Amino acid sequence: MALKDYQTALEAGKLYEVNLRGGVSGRGDTLNPSIWADAAVSIYGSESATEPAALSDMTRQDENTDVAGSLVFASGVSVIPRYIAITGAATEIIATGLDVNEIGDIS
Protein backbone atom coordinates (compact mmCIF):
# COMPACT_ATOMS: atom_id res chain seq x y z
CA MET A 1 0.00 0.00 0.00
CA ALA A 2 1.31 3.47 -0.87
CA LEU A 3 2.12 6.20 1.61
CA LYS A 4 -0.31 9.09 2.01
CA ASP A 5 0.84 12.56 1.00
CA TYR A 6 1.32 13.46 4.67
CA GLN A 7 3.63 10.46 5.32
CA THR A 8 7.34 10.02 4.61
CA ALA A 9 9.44 6.85 4.77
CA LEU A 10 12.60 7.28 6.84
CA GLU A 11 15.76 5.17 7.16
CA ALA A 12 17.96 4.41 10.14
CA GLY A 13 21.40 6.00 9.92
CA LYS A 14 20.20 9.10 8.07
CA LEU A 15 20.04 12.71 9.26
CA TYR A 16 16.81 14.58 8.54
CA GLU A 17 15.72 18.18 8.93
CA VAL A 18 12.07 18.24 10.03
CA ASN A 19 9.27 20.75 10.47
CA LEU A 20 5.65 20.49 11.55
CA ARG A 21 3.43 19.92 8.56
CA GLY A 22 0.47 22.25 8.19
CA GLY A 23 -2.98 21.21 7.11
CA VAL A 24 -5.00 18.10 7.68
CA SER A 25 -4.75 14.44 6.86
CA GLY A 26 -7.51 14.52 4.27
CA ARG A 27 -9.87 12.75 6.67
CA GLY A 28 -11.14 15.97 8.18
CA ASP A 29 -8.87 15.87 11.23
CA THR A 30 -5.70 17.68 12.20
CA LEU A 31 -2.52 15.65 12.14
CA ASN A 32 -0.61 14.93 15.32
CA PRO A 33 2.99 14.43 14.25
CA SER A 34 4.32 10.94 14.89
CA ILE A 35 6.98 8.44 13.94
CA TRP A 36 6.09 4.76 13.62
CA ALA A 37 8.60 1.90 13.41
CA ASP A 38 8.09 -1.83 12.89
CA ALA A 39 10.93 -2.68 15.33
CA ALA A 40 12.74 -0.97 18.19
CA VAL A 41 14.51 2.25 17.23
CA SER A 42 16.12 5.14 19.09
CA ILE A 43 15.42 8.69 17.97
CA TYR A 44 18.00 11.44 18.35
CA GLY A 45 17.20 15.14 18.11
CA SER A 46 18.96 18.48 17.83
CA GLU A 47 17.81 22.09 17.90
CA SER A 48 21.31 23.33 17.00
CA ALA A 49 21.74 26.17 14.52
CA THR A 50 24.40 24.05 12.84
CA GLU A 51 23.85 20.69 11.19
CA PRO A 52 24.99 17.80 13.42
CA ALA A 53 27.96 15.89 12.00
CA ALA A 54 27.55 12.82 14.24
CA LEU A 55 25.05 11.25 16.63
CA SER A 56 27.27 12.49 19.47
CA ASP A 57 26.27 16.05 18.45
CA MET A 58 22.62 15.16 19.17
CA THR A 59 20.62 14.14 22.24
CA ARG A 60 18.46 11.09 22.90
CA GLN A 61 15.79 11.22 25.58
CA ASP A 62 14.97 8.08 27.59
CA GLU A 63 11.42 8.01 26.18
CA ASN A 64 12.88 7.93 22.65
CA THR A 65 15.07 4.88 23.28
CA ASP A 66 14.12 1.43 21.98
CA VAL A 67 10.69 2.57 20.76
CA ALA A 68 8.62 0.18 18.65
CA GLY A 69 5.25 1.16 17.25
CA SER A 70 4.19 4.81 17.39
CA LEU A 71 5.95 7.72 19.03
CA VAL A 72 3.36 10.50 19.02
CA PHE A 73 4.49 14.02 19.74
CA ALA A 74 2.24 15.76 22.27
CA SER A 75 -0.92 17.41 20.95
CA GLY A 76 -0.29 21.12 20.48
CA VAL A 77 3.44 20.47 20.60
CA SER A 78 5.49 23.63 20.29
CA VAL A 79 8.90 22.04 19.74
CA ILE A 80 9.86 19.40 17.22
CA PRO A 81 13.63 19.00 16.93
CA ARG A 82 15.05 20.74 13.87
CA TYR A 83 17.14 17.65 13.14
CA ILE A 84 16.40 13.98 13.83
CA ALA A 85 18.30 10.77 13.29
CA ILE A 86 17.15 7.22 13.96
CA THR A 87 19.14 4.14 14.88
CA GLY A 88 17.95 0.55 15.13
CA ALA A 89 16.98 -2.47 13.08
CA ALA A 90 13.55 -1.38 11.83
CA THR A 91 12.83 -2.14 8.19
CA GLU A 92 9.95 0.33 8.04
CA ILE A 93 9.94 3.78 9.66
CA ILE A 94 7.19 6.24 8.78
CA ALA A 95 6.93 9.92 9.73
CA THR A 96 3.39 11.32 9.72
CA GLY A 97 2.51 14.99 9.92
CA LEU A 98 6.11 16.16 9.44
CA ASP A 99 7.79 17.82 6.49
CA VAL A 100 11.04 15.90 6.13
CA ASN A 101 14.23 16.73 4.21
CA GLU A 102 16.92 14.03 4.08
CA ILE A 103 20.39 15.49 4.58
CA GLY A 104 22.56 12.37 4.44
CA ASP A 105 24.22 9.58 6.41
CA ILE A 106 25.10 9.99 10.09
CA SER A 107 26.73 7.72 12.66
Model pTM?
0.86
Q: Is the pLDDT of residue 24 over 70?
A: no
In the chain, where are the structural domains located? 7-105
Q: Can you tell me the distance from the alpha carbon of 74 to that of 56, in angstroms, rounded to the nearest whole number? A: 25
Mean pLDDT of all residues belonging to the chain: 86
Note every long-range contact of 24-31, with CB atoms under 8 Å and residues 24 or more positions apart, other chains counting.
25/97, 31/6, 31/96, 31/97
pLDDT of 30-80, one tens digit each? 667 889 999 999 999 999 999 999 999 999 988 888 888 887 765 555 568
What are residue 69's phi and psi, to 5 degrees? Answer: 90, -140
pLDDT of residue 55: 97
